[in-house]
Chain A
Amino acid sequence: MIVALLAPAEAAAARGLAAGCEEEGVPLDVRVADTGSSALALARSAARESALGLGAGGADGRLVLVLAAAPGRAYLEAPARDARAFGHAISRIAARRPLPSRT
Chain B
Amino acid sequence: MLVAGVDVGNSTTEVAFARVEPGRAPAFLLVLRGPTSGPKGSLACVDGVRELLDRGARRIGEPARRLLLAELHPVETGLLELGRDEEHGLGRAAIARPASDTPSGLGVGAGTLRRLAELDADPPGTPVVAVVVDEDFDEAAAILKAARDAGVRLAGAIVRGDDAVLIGNRVDRALPIVDEVRDAAELPAGAHAVVEVAAAGESVVELSDPLRLAVLLGLEREETGDARRAARALAGRRAAIAIRAPGRAVAAREVVPAPFAGLEGPPPAVGALRELQLDGTRHDDLLDAFWTPLPAPPEDARLRRSLVRRHAVGVALLARGEAADLVAALDGLAEGGATVVAPEPAAAVRGAATTPGADADPLVIDLGGGTVDVHGAGGTAVAAGAGELVTRLCGGVLVCERSLAERAKRGRSARVETPFVLHHEDGSRSFLAEPAPPRSVGRLCVVEPRGLEPLDAPLAPETWRGLRRAAKRAVLAVNAGRALAAAGGAGAGRVVLLVGGCASDAEVVDEVAATLEEGGAVVARGDVLGRHGPRAAVACGLVLLHAERR
Alpha-carbon separation in the docked complex, A72 to B217 (Å): 56
Which listed residue, B137, B166, B443, touches A98 by the CB 8 Å rule? B443
Which listed residue, B165, B419, B435, touches A22 by the CB 8 Å rule? B165
Decide: A88 and B442 in contact? CB cutoff 8 A. no
A76 an interface residue at 8 Å Cβ cutoff? yes
Alpha-carbon separation in the docked complex, A76 to B163 (Å): 23
Decide: B165 and A92 in contact? CB cutoff 8 A. no
**A19: nearest residue on chain B (CB-CB)?**
B166
Decide: B169 and A92 in contact? CB cutoff 8 A. no
A67 an interface residue at 8 Å Cβ cutoff? yes
Alpha-carbon separation in the docked complex, A19 to B166 (Å): 7
Which listed residue, B102, B169, B418, touches A96 by the CB 8 Å rule? B418
With both chains docked as a complex, state the minimum distance between the C-beta of A80 and any C-beta of chain B, in angstroms.
Answer: 18
With both chains docked as a complex, state the minimum distance between the C-beta of B429 and any C-beta of chain A, in angstroms.
Answer: 13
B204-236: contact bitstring with A at CB < 8 Å (1 yes, 0 no)?
000000000000000000000000000000000
A27 an interface residue at 8 Å Cβ cutoff? no
The residues of A that contact B418 with a CB separation of less than 8 Å are 96
A83-95: contact bitstring with B at CB < 8 Å (1 yes, 0 no)?
0000011001101
The residues of A that contact B280 with a CB separation of less than 8 Å are none
B401-443: contact bitstring with A at CB < 8 Å (1 yes, 0 no)?
0000000000000000111100000000000001100110111
Alpha-carbon separation in the docked complex, A84 to B438 (Å): 17
B331 an interface residue at 8 Å Cβ cutoff? no
Which listed residue, A24, A67, A89, A98, touches B419 by the CB 8 Å rule? A67
B449-460: contact bitstring with A at CB < 8 Å (1 yes, 0 no)?
000001010100
Decide: B442 and A92 in contact? CB cutoff 8 A. yes
- Interface residue count on the A side (C-beta < 8 Å): 20
Interface of A (DSSP majority class): mixed
The residues of B that contact A93 with a CB separation of less than 8 Å are 419, 438, 441
Contact residues, A48-71 vs B (CB, 8 A): 67, 69-70
B120 an interface residue at 8 Å Cβ cutoff? no
**A92: nearest residue on chain B (CB-CB)?**
B442
A24-61: contact bitstring with B at CB < 8 Å (1 yes, 0 no)?
11000000000000000000000000000000000000
B172 an interface residue at 8 Å Cβ cutoff? no
**B180: nearest residue on chain A (CB-CB)?**
A100
With both chains docked as a complex, state the minimum distance between the C-beta of B102 and any C-beta of chain A, in angstroms.
Answer: 7
Decide: A70 and B442 in contact? CB cutoff 8 A. no
A81 an interface residue at 8 Å Cβ cutoff? no
Alpha-carbon separation in the docked complex, A73 to B458 (Å): 29
Decide: A96 and B442 in contact? CB cutoff 8 A. yes
Decide: B163 and A92 in contact? CB cutoff 8 A. no
Alpha-carbon separation in the docked complex, A22 to B138 (Å): 13
Alpha-carbon separation in the docked complex, A32 to B417 (Å): 31
**B162: nearest residue on chain A (CB-CB)?**
A23
Decide: A96 and B441 in contact? CB cutoff 8 A. yes
Which of B137, B434, B438, B439 has the largest count of A CB atoms less than 10 A from its CB? Answer: B438
Known: A88-B162, A93-B441, A96-B417. A67 touches B435 (CB 8 A): yes
With both chains docked as a complex, state the minimum distance between the C-beta of A28 and any C-beta of chain B, in angstroms.
Answer: 13
Alpha-carbon separation in the docked complex, A67 to B420 (Å): 10
**B136: nearest residue on chain A (CB-CB)?**
A19
Alpha-carbon separation in the docked complex, A22 to B162 (Å): 11
Decide: A70 and B441 in contact? CB cutoff 8 A. no
Alpha-carbon separation in the docked complex, A88 to B434 (Å): 23
The residues of A that contact B417 with a CB separation of less than 8 Å are 96
Alpha-carbon separation in the docked complex, A19 to B418 (Å): 23
Which residues of A pack against B, CB within 8 Å? 19, 22-25, 67, 69-70, 75-76, 88-89, 92-93, 95-99, 101
8 contacts between A and B (CB under 8 A): A67-B435, A70-B434, A75-B419, A75-B438, A93-B438, A97-B442, A98-B442, A98-B458
- Contacts A70-B419, A96-B417 aside, 19 further interface pairs with beta carbons under 8 A come to A22-B166, A23-B163, A23-B165, A23-B166, A24-B102, A67-B419, A69-B435, A75-B435, A89-B438, A92-B441, A95-B442, A96-B441, A97-B441, A98-B441, A98-B443, A98-B456, A98-B458, A99-B439, A101-B456
